[in-house]
Homo-oligomer: A and B are copies of this chain.
Amino acid sequence: MKLLIINPNTTQQVTETIGAAAKAAASPGTEIVMATARFGADVIASRAEDILAAHAALEVAAAHAGQCDAVIIAASWDSGLLGIREALREPEVGLTESACKVATMLGDRFGLVTFGARSVPCYRNRVKSYGLAERLAGVGCVDIDRTRMYTDRAATVAKIVACARELIKQHGAEVIIPSGAVTAGLHAEIQAELPVPVIDATSCAVQLAQSLVRLRPFKATTGSFSVPLSRHVGGVDPAIARLFEPPA
């Protein structure tokens, strides 16, 4: 099977990091196709940037519609996930969505570790929008210089671990989800320091995408997740416009 992984951030290096992690997580026979957002933020960190990322991800998804078996939205914001799920005929999963699903099969409540205080309510609301607020122990946040994050891995791991320990001790987190692409590849080091399962979101997304492909779910022909056909959409990439066209 072929999985399309969309990086809604514009940073090619992030795409590569996620691609490597995804390939390592995929089963034999699963082909990984990576694609990067054409426009928007280099690293999404606000609702305004998420608006751009959602459009950019939809554009990429539209370009690959019908040519892959499932789509992974590879940003912890899950940018555009629900709209893409609606418009495409293939299954979709998001990084944070996948991580939450796996986490809730391993412990009571999970804690999310994110970067930058301003995204804390955004993650909390994202989890709430999935109907999983009761399973969220809390969202913790690490403040670290962007450059140092990539150059000083030991410091990054140490800060994530410290934040996770606080979530475990003070908020009763029984599973830890480190958010974001930056944590791809650090999973083993973080897990080694913590007494509860640590979730590698990319691996979870790959696994769940594979599962959905194998389950061959019927695409709804009614309801809010059926394809919004025969809509008039203009001024956008032709691939997007084609999504709304009735089948020939």
Contacts and interface: CB of A to CB of B under 8 A. Distances in A.
A109 interface: yes
Given A195-B221, A197-B217, A233 B118 contact: no
B223 A107 contact: yes
A221 B106 CA distance: 12
B48 A232 contact: no
A211 B212 contact: no
A221 B30 CA distance: 33
Nearest to A39: B235
Interface string A165-176: 000100010110
- The listed residue with most B CB atoms (<10 A of its CB), out of A101, A131, A133, A243, is A131
Interface in A115-159: 117-122, 125, 128-135
B91 A108 contact: no
A10 B235 contact: yes
Contacts of A49: 83, 228, 231, 233
B107 A41 contact: no
Contacts of A105: 85, 91-93, 97, 101, 208, 212
A231 B121 contact: no
Nearest to A218: B197
Given A27-B27, A48-B243, A58-B51, A40 B218 contact: no
Q: For the complex formed by this chain, how many copies does it contain in all?
A: 6
A191 B204 CA distance: 27
A104 B118 contact: no
B54 A51 contact: yes
Contact of A52 (B168, B210, B240): B240
B118 A223 contact: yes
B82 A47 contact: yes
Contact of A107 (B93, B125, B132, B225): B225
Contacts of A217: 102, 106, 197
B228 A118 contact: yes
Interface in A36-51: 38-42, 45-51
20 contacts: A10-B234, A25-B214, A39-B234, A42-B232, A42-B234, A46-B83, A46-B86, A46-B87, A46-B224, A47-B83, A48-B86, A51-B83, A101-B101, A117-B223, A118-B228, A128-B129, A131-B133, A196-B218, A197-B217, A198-B218
